[in-house]
Amino acid sequence: MNEDNKINYYAIIPATVRYNQKLKAAEKLLYGEITALSNVKGYCYAQNRYFAQLYGVSIETVSRWLSHLQELGYIEIEIIRNDKKEVIERNIYIADTPYCQKNQYPYCSNGQYPIDENVKENNINKIIEDLFYYIINNSNRISKEFYSILNRLEFIYTKEILSIMQDDKVQMLKEIIYTLYSLYNSQFKTLLLKVDRQELINLYLISKEHCVGNFFNYYKKVIIKEYSKSNARRL
């Protein structure tokens, strides 16, 4: 694999993974690679072919490694299908609670290693803040097309207006924009041509009320489901 294509973020392999004798060394390395790739969007969207080329193994071998990590509770795998039940997207999330077998390690208990969750949350928060900073400062790091989408939805505010908005409203704005940007960089980009401002806010509030676990993953799926359903009704 070309060195330029390899990720430059740090990998994190907690003690619960490093010292788990049920895991192969390669599976531990794969877990670390997933944490590094998750720095970009809060989840890993690399396909098995990427990992196979990276480690010089078959795609089937990578599939077995992932299945084992999932079986032990270290990762969560989200499969998104279209109306024809065809797989169109596969996302991998680091599980919120690391696998910890009772009495396996005297120092291992629930909450003993909050760094996994904290790192994941901090990474997402930094991405959200950076993205919002670029947008309110009209940075050329953000495409004109995405600016156009935000303008249509009236999600771009001046710094003066933002300064007098309630903190929870500003946070909601940041999180909606982050979710839209995630959709913009996915196969569901065309949905953004149809989304409605008030509907996005309503779906956001509903997701906040009902979500247990990864909020952004849940909110994104709610949007996809709602607007895919709308497309089906029009057909």
Domain boundary among 113, 135, 167: 113
pLDDT higher than 90, residue 72 = no
Contact 62, 48 (CB under 8 A): yes
Half-sphere exposure of 35 (CA within 13 A, CB side): 25
Does 89 reside within a domain?
A: yes
Domain boundary among 94, 113, 132: 113
Domain boundary among 79, 113, 147: 113
Q: What is the CATH number of the domain that holds 81?
A: 1.10.10.10
pLDDT digits (tens, 9 = 90+) for 144-201: 999 999 999 999 999 999 999 999 999 999 999 999 998 888 778 888 999 999 999 9
- Rounded percentage of the chain residues whose pLDDT exceeds 70: 80
Q: Which residues contact 96 (CB under 8 A, 6 or more apart)?
A: 116, 117, 213, 214
Does 118 reside within a domain?
A: no
pLDDT higher than 60, residue 233 = no
Give the chain's domain count.
Answer: 2
Domain that holds residue 38: 3-113
Half-sphere exposure of 166 (CA within 13 A, CB side): 3
